[in-house]
Structure 1
Amino acid sequence: MAQQVPDVDELEMEYQHLDFMEEMIDLGEFIENRRDEGEELQAQQLLVIQGIPVSFPGQPNPNQWIMMENIILSLSEGKNVLIESPTGSGKTLAFLCATLAWVHHQHQNQQRVPGGGETKKPVIYYTVKTHAQVSTVLKELRKTSYASPHINPLSNLKVAILGSRRQLCTNQDVIRNEHEESRDDACKRLHANFEINRQQQGQQLPLPTCPLYKPEEDDYFKNNRRCANGAIRDIEDITNSALVNQSCAYFGSRRQLASSDIVICPYNYIISSHIRNSVGIHLTNNIVIFDEGHNLQSVSCEEGSVSITLRNLRQIIDNCNNATRNPQAGGLLANKIRILSAALLNVWEWMVDPQTLPQTNADVLDAFRDFLDRDTVRNMENAVDYVINAIENEPTLGSGTAQEIRKFVSVLKLLYTRNAEGDGDNDDMILQNYFLQLENEGAVSRRLNIICLNASTVFGQISRQARSVLVTSATLSPLDSFQKDLGIPFEAPISLDQGIPASRYWITKVGSGPNGLELNLKSTSREVLALQKEVGQLVLKVCQTVPNGVLVFFPSNPFLQKMKRGWEQDPVEELGGRTIMSSINDAKHVVSEADMTDAVNTRELLRQYREQSRIGRGAVIFGILRGKLSEGVDFQDQEARAVISLGIPFAPPNAPTVFARKSSTSQLEYWRWYNTNAIRALSQCLGRSVRHQEDWGAMIMVDQRLIERAEDFRGMMPQWIEAETEAPRNQYNNFNDMIRSLQRFVAENNR
């Protein structure tokens, strides 16, 4: 059932009734904007899926049908959803429409029950990993009739976007002085001053406060969630509006929370129990969506882990002692800080004692029983909760110190809470989920590592509270291990095929370069000059073959820098004595993630890349696997005609998490985990290319190990990628055969 585009008379009437709270736009601009929106929404289709009406912008593709059927069925039964679907398959739109339709239908049915009273609708928490993803989610949400009261007069979808003080603060004095005091600490200090002034009621000279924080006035943000043209605000709109209206975007967005239908927030706002509690996020009977959820296992384990050095612990204890001497610290607050200081001092004395040898697991647990048992942790938890709340009004202890203590205490609580679900004081239960280690760090220091090995220790809490948890990404394979790692049940996990014709994408593994040199890019081989030149000539040849934009991903920033220096400095005989980088510059405009040092120049360099990739010789961008460009950044059409991955992004063997896994699990289980995490990150970067039916692009994985160890990695890539790399048509005897095939692919699609 198609929607109608509003006519001019209707729009003039609507314009006259608008209250332009932030920016004034003239009638002509308003009508043009609204008719553009109306034409986009004109294609809305009313579908019936699993017996529930779903309004969808246009005709869903086959993958979207499958996703929406599974989502609605699982929501109806209160089950969880796990769907792997390729980048560009319309996951975000399908998840939004299906979830909003189910919530709307459920609420309508409950209201029809005689005598049922007012029933609260389930809230949808849509979580994202990066700031860029917020804009992507809002862009898809704006396409739906659920978010457009212009098309659906009954729709008044209330959206809240949660972010950090760093993202949302618009106090220009605080921003200018950030080199002296962080926005987080400055905000908390000014907020505390406000509360002190209110308590003193003018009896003393008022302390400085933030002029944007006005809790006594009508809340602008609570009542104005949209731009003047009716569009749902994104973070930039929110901060711009705060500047114009002299309001606080940070606290304003939180006041929207209680009355919101859908809340868009970072992963950690849901995964961290203390952030959920402090912000006021309630999961009971609500719905949680994790978009780009392939990192959930590692993010959950990080939330349940802590690592602390002697020096760091001593600094925390000293800060606590100083805080208790602060005149602003009342008796109860000072006592709570002393409880924390005394418990942490016991830990420090154990760590610093020369009689205490480096130890792991059971030995650490035995030591904990002497000074860090359950009762002590419970007292610390109560104390740190009081302190965190108190310093909002009494800035006696720095927020950074308080958060470090809370992190340490929350991990200890998880350590013991998980055990409480097992068999009493069974140490085996703890050591199945945690690796404990006291290690020497250099000649004079030590480090205590408490590493979470089981994501369900953290993630299981979310699943037990929420009605349904919905997880999607382009790279969740292998699904059985992903489900096992999270430790929660999913109803029939599915992996969907690439819905784009196979003629539109070209995938291969490359084990040798233009001169026949084997390309084994393990860390010990990267110093070899001949290998650096071979990789550089391969990148150059692809840049000369593929038009527009090319993405090149390196396994690490040091490897990127090393390669780039070699390509800039060393002349190559095969290139007539020129350097590789000068030749790449002739072929493409070059941009590097290594130069993206802050948000401002990141936006500018991405703008340059996007602009240059669509004109003239095109552009190439050097990124890092697991970096900011490898996921969450949307490269459209000409911006990603080829993706090259160099090497395999294995985690450093000496990383605490890797060492913990290797020490605590069987060899088979360790290598499965180690390989899966690397191949998942590799697969994620490939998804930057080919995002819709009319798009096309090449995906080139460079490393001989991908060919030699194919059996070790089998089943770890999405099915459609694995099937293509193993197809006979994508097997080549040498590099030149591969390039000729790539040239044919480009010629067939670049028309």
Structure 2
Amino acid sequence: MATNHGHPPENEEIIDFHHPYTPYPVQLEFMRTVYGILERGDGQVGILESPTGTGKSLSLICSALTWLRNHKRKNFEVGLDETRREMAGEPGWMVEIALKRKREELMKRWEEREQRLARLRKQEREAEERGRDRKRVRVEERGKKREVDEEEEFLVGVGGGDDDGEGEEGGLSKETREMLVKVGLGGWKREEGEEDGGEGEGEGIKLTQFISELRRPEFPPSLPAELLEKDGKEETKETVKEITLSSRQKLCINPAVARLGSVSAINDRCTELQQSKSKEKCAFMPNAENLKQTHQFRDTTLATVPDIEDMYRIGKQLHVCPYYASRTAIPGAEVITLPYPLLLQKNAREALGIKLEGNVVIIDEAHNIMDAVANVYAADIRLSELRRGRQMLGVYVKRFGKKLKGENRVMVAQIGKVVESLKDWLEGQLQVKGDQGIADPNSLLKSRGADQINLYTLMKYIQESKLAYKIESYVAHTEESQDLTSPKSSTPVLHTLVSFLTALTNLSTEGRIFYEKLPGEHPEIKLSYLLLSPTHAFSSIASSARAVILAGGTMSPFEDYKAHLFPSLPPEKLTTLSCGHVIPASNLFVHTLSSYRPGGVDPFEFSFQKRSDRAMIKNLGLALLNICSVAPDGVVVFFPSYAYLDEVIAIWQTTDPASLPSIWDRLSSKKPLFRDTSSSSSSATSTEDILSCYTTAISSPASPRKGAVLFSVIGGRLSEGINFSDSLCRLVVIVGLPYPNLHSPEWKARMEYIEGTCAARGGSREEAKGEAREYYENAAMRAVNQSIGRAVRHRGDWSGIVLVDGRYKGERVRGKLPGWIRKGLKEEGDRGVAGLMGGLGGFFRGRG
């Protein structure tokens, strides 16, 4: 049912995890494992897999918060023991008085805090029960349309000795920083290179879902039960104190700033409004006038377990910025929820005031953590953006050139040289044969003398001067942007440039820069920075936290997390767990289809060399025809890539020489057919529209249990985060293995990096090749496992899984499937489609 490597939980006594329901055995095992890891601490790491539908998030919450409350009680007892030691040799009555006073002080603080939070919770509930509209504070925008002679606001004003910007730190005035200290935001500053890093697609939804789970259980107080009893009180419940952190883009309530849209523009405008010389201060910034509201924001959020939308609403009600005010709640919070980018960047954590030392880091849905690290540090820039940036610089210099003095004039000129050099290199590369490759970072800045420029100084200037925001704002203000030949970007070009230059200056053995020519009417090419390994970027988390838990529905195969996130971790500090599913065995059917006919005749092998075989593709279509004749409701078929899905469908749509209906038409007669398309495709349909039409076809009363077929792609838009529960997916068909293209520059670089790292550790050539091959195979199997996980979503759900490719019979590939899938595999020999239909038909008949 589960494999547990490393230390078993030390606490074998029965622990009440305060789960709101009666937990299944796999949930109990999961919670005991988490509790044991946190209890041991000392840099322990857990990599835990619990299938979707097993209540993984709720189990994480219950085990972690049970440990935390128990840990707090133990720490209180330790404090009393220290008092006893300090008063050793004193009369017993003096020791008891000192202990009593300490208990009373703690009880008083705890009671006052809980009573204050209880009042706020009551107010929130009463407001909800009355159903009244929340009072919204409307702030009239004071920024009227400026006259031409007021364009001075767009002029840069830092450095060069021309401006008195001394005493400002991170874009905030001394006055503002002093105020932040007073309201509990001491030590905050915007670090060089800090990005708010908004959430990736769907992360806000995941955080909201996690918060809804966090509200379910109830936990006893963090005070020892005997202390409450001595005070004459019955043990009560203590609400979890949680704060949700997010970006300015999600939390800004200043309409004049929020409407700017892009994260970088919002960041710059926000920090600009805090500067001492700013004509217009932000009315929502925590200050002496709204100190009461700031503290009320802190207490209300700690009282109510808010999600991002709640934070925004509370800030609007109280007329105080949720982005800044949320930080006042960090010291009192037991749980801090935040999106990947804010956790993974050390400077972002420091800017928020988040300390990992002694604390626990839990990453839910951690199956894509390595990709998330790479995405946080990724950067790219296109030739069209550089051309547009050069034109905008020209527009800006034409207007303000005579007013730019000292360092400002020098720096703006240097930015122009860097932009020109990158533009020259990309334009030259357009003339070179080949669509993609690795770029030598030293060659990118050889033109125009740009290689003599100090990039660190230049980037710092762009950040502190808010030049990107000023240029974009000025061009929009004068409406000259309509004369530019390139389309307007949602992100200021200079912000894109800074992100790319940051990657360029941070180049190490872990990163590479690639170029790629893009299809389209006009010649286009881009430069991209790729982080080849997350090891160094993740090390600050792994080395600082008391414990790290990586949990997901499909974490298999585990090897990559160990090798690339925790390469130096001693075995005794690592615990892995693969839980079984909560569904009964009869609710799952797993079969490998390795050939069309019995005995291995007409094999299925969708390798890159063989997958275009028309006979094999035709046999695949005929196999699906058989499958659709017995499978009820929804069938989801995953292919290795969008290009291959297009190729297969084109062959299926070809009319038979004998004038028989095409395979596509015959499939359509069995079930309505739907297909996903790449988001970059000109004919792309939105995910919502595809799912809506597919769902309607399945639920249509006109054709009960006829269902529908949805063709999708492994790693595509519908392979992760989509809930195909119940009738939406009674069968998952996986066609082939989505091995990445080893001939692409990115994968060549990855494989070389892994081999080089192994060799540097003293590994042999064979070991290095083996590690690279393992990483390559694991990347494919993680994507397969995510697609498989779309089917069974809760205890009462049931589904079949068919893996179409002979390679799934190999133990090396099969061993990388999740344990609950391996357990469900039927070993029936190579009986072809006939054997599949016998087992599949029996499975569906058994389900009624």
Partner residue in 2 for 1:36: none
Are the aligned partners of 2:513 and 2:528 in contact in 1 as well (CA < 8 Å)? yes
- Structure 1 position 594, deviation (Å): 2.8
Partner residue in 1 for 2:161: none
Say which of 703, 706, 711 aligns to 2:805. Answer: 703
- 2:207 is aligned with 1:107: no
- 2:821 is aligned with 1:713: no
Structure 1 residues 261 and 741 mapped into 2: Cα distance closer, same or farther (>3 Å)?
A: same
Are the aligned partners of 1:477 and 1:715 in contact in 2 as well (CA < 8 Å)? no
Partner residue in 1 for 2:623: 538
Are the aligned partners of 1:169 and 1:183 in contact in 2 as well (CA < 8 Å)? no
- Structure 1 position 741, deviation (Å): 0.5
Partner residue in 1 for 2:363: 290
Structure 1 residues 409 and 746 mapped into 2: Cα distance closer, same or farther (>3 Å)?
A: same
Are the aligned partners of 2:54 and 2:794 in contact in 1 as well (CA < 8 Å)? yes
| Aligned ranges 1:230-629 → 2 under 5 Å | 234=307, 260-277=333-350, 281-308=354-381, 376=454, 378-380=456-458, 382-383=460-461, 385-387=463-465, 400-412=492-504, 414-415=506-507, 430-431=508-509, 433-435=510-512, 450-488=529-567, 489=569, 491-499=573-581, 500-513=583-596, 517-523=602-608, 527-564=612-649, 566-567=651-652, 569-571=653-655, 577-594=660-677, 602-603=687-688, 605-607=690-692, 609-610=694-695, 613=698, 616-617=704-705, 618-629=707-718
- 2:35 is aligned with 1:72: yes
Q: Which residue type is aligned with residue 827 of structure 2?
A: P
Partner residue in 1 for 2:25: 62
User: C-alpha distance in 1, partners of 2:729/2:54?
Assistant: 16
Say which of 735, 739, 759 aligns to 1:650. Answer: 739
Runs of at least 5 residues in structure 2 that lack an aligned partner in the other structure:
1-10, 84-101, 111-198, 223-233, 476-489, 756-767
Are the aligned partners of 1:650 and 1:674 in contact in 2 as well (CA < 8 Å)? yes
User: C-alpha distance in 2, partners of 1:221/1:401?
Assistant: 36
SS state of the match for residue 740, structure 1?
A: helix
- 2:749 is aligned with 1:660: yes
SS state of the match for residue 289, structure 1?
A: strand
- Structure 1 position 458, deviation (Å): 1.0
User: C-alpha distance in 1, partners of 2:274/2:593?
Assistant: 63
User: C-alpha distance in 1, partners of 2:208/2:618?
Assistant: 39
TM-score, normalising length from structure 2?
0.64
SS state of the match for residue 54, structure 1?
A: coil
Higher relative contact order (CA 8 A, sep 6+): 2
Say which of 709, 724, 727 aligns to 1:638. Answer: 727
Are the aligned partners of 2:472 and 2:492 in contact in 1 as well (CA < 8 Å)? no
Partner residue in 2 for 1:85: 50
Q: Which residue type is aligned with residue 28 of structure 2?
A: W
The Cα offsets for residues 138-175 of structure 1, whole Å up to 9 and x where unpaired, read as 343232125999x9964332434445667667999999
Q: Which residue type is aligned with residue 747 of structure 1?
A: R
Are the aligned partners of 2:462 and 2:468 in contact in 1 as well (CA < 8 Å)? no
Structure 1 residues 696 and 172 mapped into 2: Cα distance closer, same or farther (>3 Å)?
A: farther
| Aligned ranges 1:20-169 → 2 under 5 Å | 54-76=17-39, 77-78=41-42, 79-112=44-77, 113-114=79-80, 130-131=202-203, 132-146=205-219, 154-163=237-246
Partner residue in 2 for 1:25: none
Structure 1 residues 591 and 439 mapped into 2: Cα distance closer, same or farther (>3 Å)?
A: closer
Structure 1 residues 670 and 596 mapped into 2: Cα distance closer, same or farther (>3 Å)?
A: closer
SS state of the match for residue 283, structure 1?
A: coil
Structure 1 residues 148 and 540 mapped into 2: Cα distance closer, same or farther (>3 Å)?
A: farther
Segment drifting more, 189-198 vs 615-624? 189-198
TM-score, normalising length from structure 1?
0.71
Structure 1 residues 250 and 285 mapped into 2: Cα distance closer, same or farther (>3 Å)?
A: same
- 2:842 is aligned with 1:744: yes
- Structure 1 position 363, deviation (Å): 7.5
Are the aligned partners of 2:468 and 2:494 in contact in 1 as well (CA < 8 Å)? no
SS state of the match for residue 199, structure 1?
A: coil
Are the aligned partners of 1:507 and 1:700 in contact in 2 as well (CA < 8 Å)? yes
User: C-alpha distance in 2, partners of 1:237/1:620?
Assistant: 39
Partner residue in 2 for 1:425: none
User: C-alpha distance in 2, partners of 1:362/1:660?
Assistant: 12
- Structure 1 position 510, deviation (Å): 1.5
- 2:827 is aligned with 1:728: yes
Q: Which residue type is aligned with residue 62 of structure 2?
A: C
SS state of the match for residue 679, structure 1?
A: helix
User: C-alpha distance in 2, partners of 1:601/1:399?
Assistant: 23
Are the aligned partners of 1:319 and 1:401 in contact in 2 as well (CA < 8 Å)? no
Runs of at least 5 residues in structure 1 that lack an aligned partner in the other structure:
1-47, 121-126, 203-208, 416-429
User: C-alpha distance in 2, partners of 1:674/1:537?
Assistant: 31
- Structure 1 position 633, deviation (Å): 2.4
Are the aligned partners of 1:510 and 1:735 in contact in 2 as well (CA < 8 Å)? yes
User: C-alpha distance in 2, partners of 1:249/1:468?
Assistant: 29
Are the aligned partners of 1:510 and 1:704 in contact in 2 as well (CA < 8 Å)? yes
Structure 1 residues 682 and 233 mapped into 2: Cα distance closer, same or farther (>3 Å)?
A: same
The Cα offsets for residues 323-379 of structure 1, whole Å up to 9 and x where unpaired, read as 67775989777766666666666777788899xx99999976799999999994553
The Cα offsets for residues 14-60 of structure 1, whole Å up to 9 and x where unpaired, read as xxxxxxxxxxxxxxxxxxxxxxxxxxxxxxxxxx8778653112233
User: C-alpha distance in 1, partners of 2:532/2:235?
Assistant: 48
SS state of the match for residue 741, structure 1?
A: helix
User: C-alpha distance in 2, partners of 1:68/1:374?
Assistant: 57
- Structure 1 position 596, deviation (Å): 7.9
User: C-alpha distance in 1, partners of 2:235/2:408?
Assistant: 53
Partner residue in 1 for 2:792: 690
- Structure 1 position 658, deviation (Å): 0.7
Are the aligned partners of 2:735 and 2:805 in contact in 1 as well (CA < 8 Å)? yes
Q: Which residue type is aligned with residue 578 of structure 2?
A: L
Structure 1 residues 146 and 380 mapped into 2: Cα distance closer, same or farther (>3 Å)?
A: farther
SS state of the match for residue 550, structure 1?
A: strand
User: C-alpha distance in 2, partners of 1:147/1:513?
Assistant: 60
Are the aligned partners of 1:53 and 1:105 in contact in 2 as well (CA < 8 Å)? no
SS state of the match for residue 507, structure 1?
A: strand
Aligned length: 661
User: C-alpha distance in 2, partners of 1:393/1:312?
Assistant: 14
Structure 1 residues 560 and 352 mapped into 2: Cα distance closer, same or farther (>3 Å)?
A: closer
User: C-alpha distance in 1, partners of 2:397/2:329?
Assistant: 36
Partner residue in 1 for 2:151: none
The Cα offsets for residues 58-82 of structure 1, whole Å up to 9 and x where unpaired, read as 2333332332223222223232211
- Structure 1 position 585, deviation (Å): 4.4
Structure 1 residues 260 and 610 mapped into 2: Cα distance closer, same or farther (>3 Å)?
A: farther
Q: Which residue type is aligned with residue 661 of structure 1?
A: R
Are the aligned partners of 2:557 and 2:781 in contact in 1 as well (CA < 8 Å)? no
User: C-alpha distance in 1, partners of 2:665/2:67?
Assistant: 56
Structure 1 residues 610 and 246 mapped into 2: Cα distance closer, same or farther (>3 Å)?
A: farther
